[in-house]
Structure formats: C-alpha cells, structure tokens
Structure 1
Amino acid sequence: MKKMMSRKKTKTSFKYLPLEIWTLILARMPGKTLLRFRSVCKPWCSIIDDPDFVHLHLQLCNTNNNSKNKLFVAFEVPESNRGRRCLMTIRRADTFRKTGHNLTSFQYYETPGSCNGLFLMSRLVDTKRELRLWNPSIRKSLLVPSCPIPSHLEDRTAFVLGFAPSTKEYKIIAITFDDTPGTHPKDMFFAVYTLSDQRWTVRKNELDVESSCFEHIFWSYFHPCTTVFLQGEVHSKAIDLYGGNKNHLISLDFDSEKFTFLEIPCFSDESYTMRKLFILGESVAVFSISEVNTSIWVLKIDGGKRVWTLWFSKPSSRDEFDFFKHHLYSKAFYYESDYGGCLIIEKKSYNIASGQVQERGKSMRKYVKLVTYSESLVLHKGYGAQDDDDVFPVD
C-alpha cells in the first residue's frame, strides 16, 4: 500500500512540474526528439514552438558543442564524380568518426555559409542561382525566393548568411558590384533577405563605404573559406583594402547591416604571410604563418574598442609553411585535443605548438569540406519548410 502511494505521488509530482522546469529539460533534447515531443501534449507543443525556446535550445547546444565536443558536417565528393553527387556525414572533431546521425546524399550544392546550425545551400539550375536554407539536425529545408540580382551579375554575387541578435532574425545578404566597362564604381548591389517575412529588400548605394573598397569586400565574402560567424557578425579578411598590401578584417554586422574594418597585425620582419580566420572560444582569431614566424592574434574589446592581442608565437618551419600554402583556400577550425590546440583543415589536424600534421578521416573521400554542426530547431514550424527526402534529388 505504501509503495503504491509512493508511485502515485511520484506521478502526480511529475505531471505538475512547473513549465519553467519543463522548458529547461526539453531545451537539452536533440532537435528530432523535440519534433516528436510536440505531439505528446499541448503544453509541450507550446513550449517547443515558442521562438524564445528555439533560441534557448540553440544556446545550450552551442555550450555543449565546445572545443572538445565539436561536431562537423563533412561534405565528401569523390574525385571521379566531382561536382555532381555529395555524401554528407556528421563527424566528431576528436576522432573524425561518424556519429549515429544519417544524412541524405544529394546532388551537389555549394555551401556559401552556415550560422547557428542553419546552412545556406546554393546551386545553378538552368543558369539561375537556387538558394536553400537547410537545417540538417531536423532534416528540413526552405527554398529562398530568387534574389533581385541584375541578370549579368547572376554568377558573381556573394551570399552571406547571418543572425541579428537584437531582433533574433536570420538574414541572407547578397553583395556584388558592377565592373562592366563604362559603369561607375559606386554601383554596388546590396540586398537583404529576412527569414521572418521571406522576402528580399534592395539596399542599393546605401553603404557608408569608399567605392574603392567595393571589389575587395565582394571577393572577401565571395569565398566562404575566408569567413567566420560570431555574435551577430560575419568576419572576413581582405588584402589591399586601402592600398599598401595590408590585410584587413572586414566585419559585417547583421543588426545594422554595416561594414567595419580593422587592420590585421603582423610582425615587421615578415615577408609573404598566409592568414586564416577561426573562432577561439568567444573571440575571432587570426592564424598567421610565414617562412620565419607563426603567430595567433585574438580580437579583444578594450574600453569599447577592438584591439588585437598576441596569443601565441613561435618560429615556423618550411614544412609548416608548405602545408598551409597547399591548403590556402581551405577553412580552419580550432579544436582542443589531449595534446594541445589544433587547427583542423579538411582531413588533417595541425598541432599549433609542435607543428605536427596528422592525417584524419582516412576512410573519407578525397575532397572534403567541413562545416560546423549544431543542433537547431530553426525552420521546424511556420516557414513552410520541406523534408529533405522531398527536396534534394538523389542519384
């Protein structure tokens, strides 16, 4: 009798947990599990569908997806079939082994950017650029309306995906400029797509930027291997922004939709230097390597101003320099291994302190592109997103 009363009391307490406690419990569940939990009861459905819950869920997932637990989506393309069919797998940073998540293989899309677990996918269809927002954790994607790009600029437009923290709004910003002979250099095309209303707005000639910088801005964002997203800004790097062969960090703020520029430091005795942007903790960092020196500079806020702090420095070797020269257009990710900090580049890891390079993912296909993976509920409701199987064509 006492045992039965104890069970009854437990069930009653479980049923009447405050919604705040249920919110914290559910926010720690995987995205696909939460989609099933929406059918359990109306209170759970109401919690999961709340935009604030979607944001909380993402914050907790990002906290868990730290340097040691980092996951990637690996886009693998075989050498003999490059440009058509792509195999996607989710892999751990420490071992490069596949997780239990299975993703659809589909006709090859480019990946201009990713942000908060949301991917921007791009491909040409009958000479037109098709854009999709894709969430791999819940297997849903959304077709983006055609961007109002002038037809002669269709193939040379940079699409940048980001998130505006103040409005909790996901945006795609399209950037290009017209360098057709006879055009004025101030003719820069700038359009913004907002996920909430699913439409584009043209912002032509509203940028407070020198016209001489347009070309450098465009090319820096046209190559996604040079960009990183952090705290509402997509950062990239450019050379010769104001002349003088100096590197600059370009930051595109998704709240204000404005650019800011900051010179990237270097040692005075450096000759040819290669640089890669990456995220180090909660800061943007720049890895620099020449035949003489290796250094890492971290961007900090001091008295309201952005300043560079030297975080690491050592002499470099010819082998290290040649490794990064060979991977000039590959993106770098920071990972904290048992042997110290590493940069992951394609299927290899580079130990920052020792300079040793280790082959990873030997079973993977030859051409591999990595994109940071995060659990997210974005697109699960209210946008008309489709399931993966209904969208991505499979060979």
Structure 2
Amino acid sequence: MEKDMPIFPQEIITSILVRLPVKSLIRFQCVCKSWKNLFRTPSFIAEHLHHSTRQNPLLIVDSDVSGCIPWRLCLLNCEMEVSEFENTHIIDSLMSGCFYCCNHMLCKMSGWLYSSNGLLCVKFSRNSQDHLWLWNPSIRVVRQVPESLNEPKYFSVGFGFSPIIDDYKIVKFFLAGFSVVVQAEVYSLRTGLWRKVEVGNLEGVYDLGCGAFSWNGAIFWIGEKKDVEVHNKSHLELIVSFDIAGEVFTLIPFPTLNSADSCYKRLASFENKLALLFTSDIENSGSWAIDLWVLEECTDPSRERWSWAKIYTSTPNPCWICAEIIWRNEIVCLVEAFEGEEGKVVLCNLTTNEFKPFGCSSRPGILEYVESLVLLDNIHV
C-alpha cells in the first residue's frame, strides 16, 4: 500500500507559488479551485509582484519605423537572454502601424506605451481617433479605457501606480498652441472613471512632450516654463510631478547644468531617488559624456527648496550618446552612428565606468517591465 502523499501547510505552498512565473501559475489554475481563487486574491498578487520585481527584466520593442514590419515585443533578462512575447497578436489585432521608442515609451503618430507593475498603457490612433488601452500581457488581459470627459486634438499622457491607495491612474494633459497645458484629467482603474483635476501652478508650463516617468507613487515629466523675471523671456526647464494619491501637481526646478542648449535628458530612478540623466558635450573635445544627478529629499514643508547632487560622469565617448534608462546599476544608452554605420545600444556600468554591447538589435525601444497577476476587471480578449 502506497504511503499517503505528504500534506504541506498552506503557508509553505503559498510561499512556493508566489515565486513561480506567471506562465506556470496560469497552468496551475486547473489543479484545484482553491489555487485558482488564491491566484486572484489581492494579497497573493501583491506578494507575487514583490518577488517578480526582483527579476527586473527589460521590455524591448523592436520595429521598423517605416511601418512595413509589425512591431515586436521581447523581454531581456539578467542573463542577457531575449525571449519574445507569446501573445502580441492581442494588441496587433487592435492596432495599425508600428512604434519606436521615445522618452521611456513608444511614440509615433500611431501609438504610445507605458509600463507599471506589469500593466502596459497603450495609446494608438485609428481613423483619426485616439484610444487608450490597459494590457497585462502576462495573463493575456486587455481593457479599453473609456473616453475622457474632453477629447482635444492634442494631449499628453502619463501612467503610474500608488501603493498608498493601491490604484493605477492615467493622467491626460490637454494642450493648446505651442503645447501649453490648459487642462488635466485623471482616470482611476479602481473606479473606472475620469475626473477633472486642477492644474494649479502648471499655468504657463509647456512642451511636456511624450516622456512621462512613473516612480514611487508619482508621475514625472520634463517641461519648460517662461521665466517672467527675465526681460528677454527666457525659458526655464523643470520637472512636473503628479502625486497619484493626492492628485497634486508640483514643479521641481532643474539642477544647474552646463551645455543646456545641446543636451539630452531622461528621468530615471537611482538608489531609491529620482534621477536625471543628462548628455553633455565636453567643451572643445568633440566628445560626449553622461552625467547622473539625483534629487535629495526635500525637507522644506513648502516644497520650494530642492537640492540636486551630481554623483557620476561617464568616460567621454566620440559619438553622440543618449542615456535611456538605468538598469541593474548600468545605463542603457543609444549611441549615434558614425558615417556609413548603424547606431547601436550599449551598457555603461556605473561602477567600472566601462561600455559594453547591449546584445540586441540596433536602437530598439526599451522600458522596464515586470510580470504580474494584476487584474483588469476580468475583461479578456
């Protein structure tokens, strides 16, 4: 007579399951009803996301910007192994055109893409109409975001998550001439509704572009504002911050940068601080370098005093080089091509200051991604 199978405590079973990839958990839903229900509980989803975040892969979007070749999503893991998404046909069926990367997202007249905790916020245009979708490719769930209260011709989008209120929100700026912010609306995944929010001190802010960056319960954009204290009406570069929980906008001044007229800037996070990656030309050398600035914690209750510190400068590079994202203590950089050559992607190590090949096709779109079980109200395609 066979011995009975050992029965493990539920705590041990759960501790094992939260460490498995989503693909395995989807298969294990058919093991028993209790497991299927477990995988849908908020506590399990949150714990699985905590473990999955440690893997911290990159999402690579490779496409022919001419529009002749469909877009392709891949994942790059810490071993520099590339694997292709298995279900991109879900979004392919909704979209026309392809995408290229711009400011931590994909940007073309046909679409944008943002990532937060495994959810992708996708904006695309079809028949002159803009549509927003939320997509969790790990569990193959997609949901169309309802139309906002106003549908202007020009707008800018941001997407992020707040652990304080356990909610994902989309911010939509409505833009007037010269991309000036005139109004803002926020969509809550929890309520499924849009609502207007006060733009407050955003009056006169413009050129937010398409480069939203989400981190630590807030969404950030790089923008500009006219300096009213200067007679020639020069322009101040700044960072617009949106607190997802409190729905409040804050303006953060830039650090004092050199070569401001010829730089390339990206927002990132480094050592749990908001960071700014800045490409500068080294005077009279014909070379370029990347500076890394971090924003120190603001202790001023009025939020009017901010302190930046430059903590890193890369070795000079003979080509124009632009930093895109910080990944595993390395900066993912796009390097401009020499004449007759293609541009390439390299990794700049923040410890050794060495450049090395990235190991993927030339100049793809790149953003952070993590597998998750986050639900979208069970709307499946």
Establish whether TM, by shorter chain, passes 0.5. Answer: yes
Deviation of 1:261 after TM superposition, in Å, equals 1.6
Deviation of 1:118 after TM superposition, in Å, equals 0.7
Distance 2:66 2:199 in 1: 44
Distance 1:259 1:212 in 2: 14
Pick one of 173, 180, 190 that aligns with 2:184: 190
Could you say which residue in structure 1 is the equivalent of 2:117? 116
Distance 1:210 1:99 in 2: 42
Superposition pairs of residues 246-257 of structure 1, within 5 angstroms: 246-257=236-247
Superposition pairs of residues 182-261 of structure 1, within 5 angstroms: 188-203=182-197, 206-213=198-205, 216=206, 219-220=207-208, 222-224=209-211, 227-240=212-225, 242=227, 244-261=234-251
Residue 376 in structure 1 maps to residue 372 in structure 2: yes
Deviation of 1:80 after TM superposition, in Å, equals 4.8
1:122-144 per-residue CA deviation (whole Å, 9 max, x = no partner) reads 21122211211111222221111
Distance 1:240 1:251 in 2: 14
Question: What SS is found at the alignment partner of 1:56?
Answer: helix
Question: What SS is found at the alignment partner of 1:85?
Answer: coil
Paired-residue identity, % = 21
Maintained 8 Å contact 2:321/2:334: no
Change (3 A) 1:33 1:232: same
Distance 1:112 1:101 in 2: 15
Identify unmatched segments of 5+ residues in structure 1.
66-70, 325-330, 388-395
Maintained 8 Å contact 1:120/1:133: yes
Distance 2:88 2:378 in 1: 20
Q: Which amino acid aligns with 1:251?
A: S
Question: What SS is found at the alignment partner of 2:47?
Answer: helix
Superposition pairs of residues 11-160 of structure 1, within 5 angstroms: 11-14=5-8, 17-18=9-10, 20-65=11-56, 71-82=57-68, 85-92=70-77, 95=80, 97-99=81-83, 101-105=85-89, 106=92, 107=96, 108=98, 110-150=111-151, 153-154=152-153, 156-160=154-158
Could you say which residue in structure 1 is the equivalent of 2:231? none
Distance 1:193 1:173 in 2: 7
Deviation of 1:230 after TM superposition, in Å, equals 0.9
**Structure showing the higher helix proportion among its residues:** 1
Could you say which residue in structure 2 is the equivalent of 1:307? 307
Question: What SS is found at the alignment partner of 1:301?
Answer: coil
Change (3 A) 1:193 1:256: same
Deviation of 1:12 after TM superposition, in Å, equals 4.0
Change (3 A) 1:269 1:348: closer
Maintained 8 Å contact 1:239/1:245: yes
Could you say which residue in structure 2 is the equivalent of 1:319? 318
Distance 2:202 2:274 in 1: 25
Change (3 A) 1:335 1:193: closer
Superposition TM-score, scaled by structure 1 size: 0.75
Could you say which residue in structure 1 is the equivalent of 2:173? 175
Deviation of 1:308 after TM superposition, in Å, equals 2.2
Change (3 A) 1:269 1:104: closer
Change (3 A) 1:74 1:100: closer
Maintained 8 Å contact 2:156/2:175: no
Identify unmatched segments of 5+ residues in structure 2.
99-109, 229-233, 283-288, 336-343
Question: What SS is found at the alignment partner of 2:39?
Answer: helix
Mean Cα deviation higher: 239-248 or 109-118: 239-248
Question: What SS is found at the alignment partner of 1:160?
Answer: strand
Distance 2:191 2:254 in 1: 37
Superposition TM-score, scaled by structure 2 size: 0.77
Mean Cα deviation higher: 28-37 or 133-142: 28-37
Q: Which amino acid aligns with 2:157?
A: F
Change (3 A) 1:345 1:294: closer
Distance 1:162 1:42 in 2: 32
Maintained 8 Å contact 1:171/1:194: yes
Mean Cα deviation higher: 343-352 or 161-170: 343-352
Question: What SS is found at the alignment partner of 1:119?
Answer: strand
Q: Which amino acid aligns with 1:207?
A: V
CA-based RMSD = 3.1
Distance 1:195 1:343 in 2: 31
1:4-63 per-residue CA deviation (whole Å, 9 max, x = no partner) reads 5xx43xx3432xx13x43333222122232233333233323322112322222122112
Distance 1:34 1:58 in 2: 13
Q: Which amino acid aligns with 1:199?
A: L
